[in-house]
């Protein structure tokens, strides 16, 4: 039975009394009120039983912690010892203790030689065995000792590099690239170590920047033209390097609407194969055509110069420079065209010391009438004989070298109705080739002016200009002379040819260039069946003989402006009795051809046969006839 609150209060009070009582009384035993078999519930103030501690399990935990600590310490000590031996002790070789230093210029002009110094230092405690250095150069690199040979890979056998030792190596290469291009040169060092068959590798690289291009291209053309009018572009490719460049290619990206009429060099698709360029050499290409388009349309030409991998390949392997030229199309109110000797393409090459006929055609392209039109053609150029200019329906002003067509000289020019046209003409002579320099040309600058009535019915003054330049070819002459007593080759036999007796003569070939420089000069002639080629030659160029066709070929090569090239070869003749009283021909007529570097055309000349009639010994009263 549970106690009531009063019982509890009494119990506490009795306990307090007992606590402070002076005498100790023995408490009475009370019967346990809890049911039999049940354990009495403790009071709140009774002491709780102490926890049971198992001392054997505690020892197991402490042993595991100690083992873990020992393991960590052992690992740290082992790692320290391994690191010490890896970096400071033993025979272990570390890549980080091999220095591979490279020194050289950081910028270089394209086509120049790159000097590169390499220093390999071994700071390992062991030697390096079978050390090999491999260097890879960018595509297009050439050998510094022979620029005709590619140089894209090199292997240097270094052998054994002792501990603490170093080796110095140097390489030289000719690099090419476009302006601003960064070229990377990878370097790989492979080596072995004592007691191991493994091969170890250390890599590095060197970067050099291209400061200038080895090839440049410039474009000279009009900044504005009219739709359908002839347009000429002059392209100049120049070598800026001090080594020869092979397989030079000029690629042309032509705008839509441009039609090629002609070019001074043949095109391979849209490219020009320019071959080999010697240091400082240049080539000029003339590209002519017409450009179509709407008024104020801007058309851009792109020209890229570079090199290909093989001759005859128009695919560019390395490009060095791109030059653009922008031409604006303007609609002319009076369309003019000039035809020289009947050719209106604007690409005709004029002959020196010859009469030239020029016609100027004009058409009103407006939908309104143009009043008082004036068409003027100004002449300029070193190849014109200005005193020879004549015109039938215009006026020539000798002070300004201008021919003017207007209503004062041609009444039909009082006004030009829409689509109306007309024509003026004049003539002039070109000077002899010996009278001008290396760049003979004739330039026509056409100016058109007039008054038209606009939509507001207010008169408007309109003008237009157009320029056309024609080149004048050089003049070459070929001659054949028969020599006996003079010349570099000694001759034998009767001075006057005699039937049945052999006489040798020297044939002298002379090619004279009066104007611009020429290239690839070649002369050919044939020998009669009764004349034989002895094989003795002299002079400039080279002379070859084809016995099957009996053709003598003289390769004269390049001939500078205003100079004469000469070559000699010996022939032998044994006259027949049927030739008595005649002066036999020793050669056929000769022909000569060469390439005019300035005009961009082939020039030619011919020469009369060489005979025994005119010989340098000049026999009196005999005339070189066979006796």
Domain boundaries, the chain: 95-212, 215-330, 334-471, 476-607
**What integer is the mean pLDDT of 520-524?**
94
What's residue 23's pLDDT? 53
Query: Among 143-157, 392-406, 586-600, which stretch is predicted with the lowest mean pLDDT?
Result: 143-157
Across 112-121, 272-281, 312-321, 581-590, least confident range: 312-321
- The per-residue pLDDT for 382 is 87
Place of tokens 């829409």: 418
User: Closest Cα to residue 491, out of 514, 479, 507, 477?
Assistant: 507
Amino acid 4: pLDDT: 46
- CA triple 580-584-585, angle to 5 deg: 175
Strands 166-174 and 142-143: antiparallel
What per-residue confidence (pLDDT) applies to 425? 93
pLDDT band at 89 (very low <50, low <70, confident <90, very high): very low
Nearest to 338 by CA among 472, 473, 470, 474: 470
Q: What pLDDT, in 10s, does the model give residues 470-514?
A: 888 888 999 999 999 888 999 999 888 888 999 999 999 999 988
Q: What mean pLDDT do residues 53-61 have? A: 51
Full-model pTM = 0.45
Of residues 83 and 533, the one with the higher pLDDT is 533
Q: Whole-angstrom Cα distance, residue 592 to residue 606?
A: 6
Identify the weakest region by mean pLDDT among 15-19, 310-314, 533-537, 553-557. Answer: 15-19
For 18, the enclosing helix (H) or strand (E) is helix 5-20
CB 116 within 8 A of CB 102: yes
Q: Show Cβ contacts of residue 435 under 8 Å, excluding neighbours closer than 6 positions.
A: none
326-331 average pLDDT score: 80
Q: Decide: 526 and 548 in contact? Cβ < 8 Å.
A: no
Q: Is 50 exceeded by the pLDDT of residue 519?
A: yes
Span 95-212 CATH architecture = Sandwich (2.60)
Which whole number is the average pLDDT over 285-295? 84
Q: What per-residue string of b and e applies to 494-511 under the rule 16 or more CB within 10 Å gives b?
A: eebbeeeeebbbbbbbbb
What is d(CA 320, CA 307) in angstroms, rounded to the nearest whole number? 8
Render pLDDT for 339-354 as a digit per residue (tens, 0 to 9). Answer: 999 888 878 888 889 9
pLDDT reported for residue 104: 87
Q: Which of the residue ranges 166-170, 228-232, 452-456 would you say has the lowest mean pLDDT?
A: 452-456
476-607 CATH fold: Immunoglobulin-like (2.60.40)
Q: Which residues contact 427 (CB under 8 A, 6 or more apart)?
A: 355, 356, 357, 358, 388, 389, 390, 391
Residue 13: enclosing H or E segment and its boundaries? helix 5-20
Return the pLDDT at 388: 94
- Give the pLDDT confidence score for residue 585 in this predicted structure: 92
Q: Are 522 and 556 in contact (CB under 8 A)?
A: yes
CATH code for the domain defined by 334-471 = 2.60.40.10
Torsion angle (degrees, nearest 10) of CA 35, 37, 42, 47: 160
**Residue count (the chain):** 627
CATH of domain 215-330: 2.60.40.10
Beta bridge partner(s), residue 272: 250
Please report which helix (H) or strand (E) contains residue 299, including its range.
strand 297-307
Task: Count Cβ atoms below 10 Å from residue 126 Cβ, excluding itself.
Answer: 17
- Whether 556 contacts 564, CB under 8 Å: no
For residues 583-587, average pLDDT: 92
The pLDDT of residue 468 is 84
| Average pLDDT over the chain, rounded to an integer | 82
Question: Tokens 């690839």 identify what position?
Answer: 520
Q: Where are the alpha helices (DSSP H) in 118-193?
A: none
Instruction: Give the pLDDT confidence of 21-34 residue by residue, as tens digits.
Output: 655 555 554 444 44
Looking at the predicted structure, is the pLDDT value of residue 39 above 60?
no
* Token representation of residue 312: 């005859």
For residues 142-150, give the mean pLDDT: 78
């Amino acid at each position: 039975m549970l106690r009531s609150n009063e019982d509890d209060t009494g119990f506490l009070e009795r306990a307090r009394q007992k606590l402070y009582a002076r005498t100790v009384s023995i408490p009475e035993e009370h019967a346990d009120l809890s049911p039999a078999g049940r354990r009495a519930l403790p009071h709140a103030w009774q002491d709780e039983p102490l926890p049971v501690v198992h001392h054997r399990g505690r020892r197991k935990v402490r042993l595991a912690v100690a083992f873990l600590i020992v393991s960590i310490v052992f690992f740290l000590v082992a790692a320290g010892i391994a690191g010490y031996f890896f970096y400071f002790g033993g025979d272990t070789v570390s890549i980080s203790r091999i220095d591979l230093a490279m020194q050289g210029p950081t910028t270089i002009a394209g086509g120049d030689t790159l000097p590169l110094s390499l220093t390999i230092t071994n700071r390992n405690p062991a030697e390096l065995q079978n050390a090999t250095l491999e260097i890879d150069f960018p595509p297009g690199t050439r050998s510094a000792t022979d620029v005709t040979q590619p140089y894209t890979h090199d292997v240097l056998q270094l052998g054994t590099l002792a501990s603490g030792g170093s080796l110095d190596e140097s390489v030289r290469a000719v690099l090419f690239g476009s302006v601003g291009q960064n070229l990377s040169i990878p370097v790989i060092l492979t080596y072995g170590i004592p007691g191991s068959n493994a091969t170890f590798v250390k890599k590095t690289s060197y970067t050099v920047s291209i400061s200038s291009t080895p090839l440049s291209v410039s474009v000279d053309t009009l900044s504005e033209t009219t739709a359908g009018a002839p347009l000429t572009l002059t392209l100049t490719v120049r070598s800026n390097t001090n080594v020869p460049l092979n397989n030079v290619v000029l690629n042309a990206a032509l705008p839509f609407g441009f039609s090629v009429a002609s070019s001074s060099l043949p095109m391979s698709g849209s490219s020009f194969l320019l071959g080999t360029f010697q240091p400082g050499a240049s080539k000029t290409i003339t590209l002519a055509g017409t450009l179509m388009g709407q008024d104020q349309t801007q058309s851009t030409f792109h020209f890229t110069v570079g090199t290909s991998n093989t001759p005859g390949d128009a695919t560019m392997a390395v490009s060095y420079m791109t030059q653009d030229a922008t031409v604006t199309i303007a609609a002319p109110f009076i369309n003019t065209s000039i035809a020289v000797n009947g050719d209106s393409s604007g690409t005709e090459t004029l002959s020196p010391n010859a009469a030239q006929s020029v016609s100027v055609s004009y058409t009103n392209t407006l939908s309104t009438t143009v009043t008082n039109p004036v068409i003027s053609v100004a002449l300029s150029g070193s190849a014109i004989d200005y005193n020879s200019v004549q015109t039938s329906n215009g006026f020539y002003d000798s002070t300004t070298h201008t021919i003017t067509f207007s209503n004062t000289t041609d009444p039909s020019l009082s006004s030009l109705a829409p689509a109306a046209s007309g024509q003026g003409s004049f003539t002039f002579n070109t000077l002899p080739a010996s009278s001008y320099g290396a760049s003979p040309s004739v330039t026509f600058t056409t100016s058109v002016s007039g008054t038209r009535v606009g939509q507001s019915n207010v008169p408007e003054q309109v003008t237009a200009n157009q320029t056309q330049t024609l080149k004048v070819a050089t003049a070459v002459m070929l001659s054949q002379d028969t020599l006996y007593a003079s010349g570099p080759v000694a001759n034998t036999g009767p001075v006057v040819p005699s039937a049945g007796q052999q006489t040798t003569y020297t044939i002298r070939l002379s090619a004279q260039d009066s104007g611009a420089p020429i290239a690839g000069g070649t002369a050919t002639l044939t020998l009669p069946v009764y004349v034989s080629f002895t094989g003795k030659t002299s002079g400039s160029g080279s002379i070859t003989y084809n016995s099957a066709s009996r053709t003598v070929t003289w390769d004269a090569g390049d001939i500078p402006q205003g100079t004469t090239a000469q070559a000699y070869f010996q022939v032998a003749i044994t006259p027949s009795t049927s030739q008595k009283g005649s002066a036999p021909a020793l050669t056929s007529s000769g022909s000569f051809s060469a390439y005019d570097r300035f005009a961009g055309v082939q020039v030619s000349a011919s020469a009369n046969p060489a005979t025994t009639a005119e010989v340098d010994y000049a026999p009196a009263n005999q005339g070189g006839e066979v006796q």
